[in-house]
Amino acid sequence: MATPVSESAVGTADLETVREFAQQLRVDSVRSSTSAGSGHPTSSMSAADVLAALVARHLRYDWDNPEDPANDHLIFSKGHASPLIYSIFKAVGVVSDAELINGYRRFGERLQGHPTPILPWVDVATGSLGQGLPDGVGVALAGKYLDKVPYRVWVICGDSEMAEGSIWEALDKASYYNLSNLIAIVDVNRLGQRGPTELGWDLDTYARRVESFGARAVVVDGHDIAAIDEALAGAEDATRPTVILARTHKGAGFSETADKEGWHGKPFPPDMAERAIAELGGERNLRIRGPVPGPDFPRPEPFSRPAITLPSYELGAKVATRRAYGQALAALGARTDVVALDAEVSNSTYSEDFGKAYPDRFFEIFIAEQQLVAAAVGLSVRGYVPFASTFAAFFSRAYDFIRMAAISQADIRLSGSHAGVEIGADGPSQMALEDLAMMRAVGGSTVLYPSDATSAAKLVEIMADLSGVSYLRTTRGAYPVLYGPDEPFAPGGSKVLRRSDGDTVTLIGAGVTLHQALAAADTLAAEGIAARVVDLYSVKPVDAATLLDAARATGGRIVVAEDHYPEGGLASAVLGALDDSGLPLSVRHLAVRSLPGSGTPEELLDAAGISAKHIVEAARDLLR
């Protein structure tokens, strides 16, 4: 093995130093993955020249102050090439060689198999391909339209992920918003996991596709440092989004792997690693740092967060919770950190109320739900409080982005309208009947389902300060206001709307089924049956204490009615909360158990077996 080169400190490196830097990145990618016994050295080696030039000469970043709002952003969409980004962190001096070699992919260590924001220099978690560029669109939107600071967003993509539709959603929206501060660099190394990629080295087709989406395509030899440097410099002064298509060789720099199939995701055995390091010129310990944003570089204005005056509603007035969402969101817009996004249904979700009041902080993402969620994640990177809304059913299209948002530790707020069979004649394609289960399954999520306008407005305000992924399920139809303006609400809470010492059965609902449960309780009361009624507006976390108290008071007799498929919704939350109670339970679970069709809300609720009539029958059955 060659003798290590001595350490040197570099400001803006010359091109020969960049070449040495690239070789160091290759060597360290090999060393770290071989030591770990897993990883992607060849995917890292292909992009080493591009990243060396970027980090050494173009990325404006203060590595000692990653929170500086003037810093550029570097997003590794091809997160499997983590040996490369971690080798960069070593070269800039924020990760030691010992951590790189002994901490990579080890239990309890921060250099995980794919980058996550546990590291302060990582904005978003990547590894699920096709997500880094959409997230970058959100960061770039913040830079151009909100922060109004000329930082650039550099996104490193793999060529395999160019087959993902989300990449093209991102380029489409980047062009629509003219995000000239967004530069994607595609490592076109021709080889995917199991063999050649869809287009291989057909750079002309890549370029045509990029240009057709309104972005600027630049084709470059990804191993020609001078050509790379020129392309990066040109991207800094572009007037529209840039995509640099870098033709590279997977496993570049080592003759045994360069452009060879069968090496994706495979570390080199120790003897092979030794040969690779020798062929690459041996270990180096260059310390490389590029330009930093100086003290006179523009920084964004601090946020203003005045007191909020929420809309109030008369008791008994019929108001849809989706309408209350829009009105509360508009009220919340007095905070300059709050932004809203919608997927071309803002006149149904009523996020248009915010858009009319604060058009400079409202982003129309059109029918591109993956980009909708990704833009929210990117905006959260910059400290904004994003609310993203669409029909609840269509968040299922973006579910991978939602789960990755949780891994990114992003704080985003999602609002889904038109939930359940209650929406009526539109039919099942528009009915969210899986969304509660979907959102409950997201790590650390908060899932809220208000039953009236007052609770909806209060929960919108609360969501603004929640961490993680939060979800508000709103209802299409207008229903009576149940709560006065001073009624408190909180995640993990519930409301008991009917209670007596003689209660013999508990009726649990949320949203539309809460109103059906109240009607059922009135019918039962006329028969001399006292029913306790619980508004389970917080589905996650759930109010276990109130549920336990109700179960004890009513002899374990519980009816749960939900406008949702049986799996994973209200009843799942209720039974999970009572699972360890030791109480004998008699539960009737009313849910949508067959494929619905079109009809009036009343017809559909009744046909699904979740209307007041069916709740009454279930309660009577428990009491027989």
Q: What pLDDT, in 10s, does the model give residues 98-107?
A: 999 999 999 9
In 3D space, the residue among 271, 251, 253, 269 whose CA is nearest the CA of residue 261 turns out to be 251
* Locus of tokens 């919608």: 342
C-alpha dihedral sign at 32, 33, 34, 36: positive
Interval 488-509 mean pLDDT: 98
Backbone angles phi, psi at 498, to 5 degrees: -135, 130
Q: What 3-state DSSP class applies to 469?
A: strand
Q: Which two tokens stand for residue 508?
A: 């649990």
Task: Identify the band that residue 21 occupies on the pLDDT scale cut at 50, 70 and 90.
Answer: very high
- Residue 490, sorted as left (phi over 0), alpha (psi -120 to 50) or beta, turns out to be beta
Q: How many residues does the chain have?
A: 624
**Helix H or strand E segment including 345:** none
Distance CA 624, CA 620 (A): 6
Interval 383-408 mean pLDDT: 98
Would you say 349 and 355 are in contact if contact means Cβ atoms under 8 Å apart? no
HEC per residue, 240-264? CCEEEEEECCCCCCCCCCCCCCCCC
Distance CA 286, CA 603 (A): 72
pLDDT digits (tens, 9 = 90+) for 184-194: 999 999 999 99
Distance CA 168, CA 427 (A): 30
Task: Identify the band that residue 12 occupies on the pLDDT scale cut at 50, 70 and 90.
Answer: confident
Distance CA 516, CA 488 (A): 23
Note the Cα 414 to chain centre separation in Å.
Answer: 10
Interval 482-508 mean pLDDT: 98
**Order of strands, edge to edge, in the sheet holding 531-535?**
495-498, 531-535, 505-509, 557-561, 586-590
Residue positions annotated with a catalytic role:
369
Would you say 93 and 56 are in contact if contact means Cβ atoms under 8 Å apart? no
Task: Identify the band that residue 2 occupies on the pLDDT scale cut at 50, 70 and 90.
Answer: very low
Q: What is the pLDDT of residue 262?
A: 95
Interval 278-302 mean pLDDT: 95
Q: What 3-state DSSP class applies to 530?
A: coil
Task: Express as a percent the part of the chain with pLDDT over 90.
Answer: 97
Interval 356-362 mean pLDDT: 98
Interval 495-501 mean pLDDT: 98
* Omega before 150 within 30 of 0, i.e. cis: no
Instruction: Report in angstroms the alpha-carbon separations of 52 from 58, 63, 222, 227, 600.
Output: 10, 15, 11, 13, 62
Residue 6 has pLDDT above 60, yes or no: no
pLDDT digits (tens, 9 = 90+) for 449-472: 999 999 999 999 999 999 999 999
Q: What is the pLDDT of residue 236?
A: 87
105-112 long-range Cβ contacts below 8 angstroms, 24+ apart: 105/36, 105/37, 105/38, 105/39, 106/36, 111/32, 111/82, 111/86, 112/82
Q: What is the pLDDT of residue 10?
A: 38
Interval 270-288 mean pLDDT: 98
Q: What is the pLDDT of residue 607?
A: 98
In 3D space, the residue among 187, 194, 245 whose CA is nearest the CA of residue 215 turns out to be 245
Q: Which two tokens stand for residue 614?
A: 């069916």
Query: What burial letters (b/e) apply to 192-222, b meaning 16+ CB within 10 Å?
Result: beeeebebebebeebbebbeebebbbbbbeb
Task: Identify the band that residue 3 occupies on the pLDDT scale cut at 50, 70 and 90.
Answer: very low
Round to the nearest angstrom and report the end-to-end CA distance of the chain: 83
Q: What is the pLDDT of residue 214?
A: 97
Q: What 3-state DSSP class applies to 222?
A: coil
Interval 31-51 mean pLDDT: 98
Distance CA 10, CA 269 (A): 33
Which residues are bridge partners to 619 per DSSP? Answer: none
Q: Which residues contact 300 (CB under 8 A, 6 or more apart)?
A: 69, 146, 147, 148, 149
What integer best gives the mean pLDDT of the chain?
A: 96
In 3D space, the residue among 2, 3, 23, 1 whose CA is nearest the CA of residue 288 turns out to be 23
Task: Identify the band that residue 5 occupies on the pLDDT scale cut at 50, 70 and 90.
Answer: very low
Q: What is the pLDDT of residue 9?
A: 36
Interval 227-234 mean pLDDT: 97
Interval 38-49 mean pLDDT: 98
pLDDT digits (tens, 9 = 90+) for 139-162: 999 999 999 999 999 999 999 999
Distance CA 471, CA 15 (A): 49
Q: What is the pLDDT of residue 146?
A: 98
Query: What burial letters (b/e) apply to 1-13, b meaning 16+ CB within 10 Å?
Result: eeeeeeeeebeeb
Distance CA 262, CA 272 (A): 15
Residue 8 has pLDDT above 60, yes or no: no
Q: Which residues contact 535 (CB under 8 A, 6 or more apart)?
A: 451, 455, 482, 494, 495, 496, 497, 509, 510, 514
Residue 7 has pLDDT above 70, yes or no: no
Distance CA 303, CA 412 (A): 17
Q: What is the pLDDT of residue 52?
A: 98
Distance CA 98, CA 108 (A): 15
Residue 494 has pLDDT above 50, yes or no: yes
Interval 482-490 mean pLDDT: 97
Q: What is the pLDDT of residue 1?
A: 31
Which pTM value belongs to this model?
0.96
Interval 597-616 mean pLDDT: 98
In 3D space, the residue among 314, 365, 362 whose CA is nearest the CA of residue 340 turns out to be 362
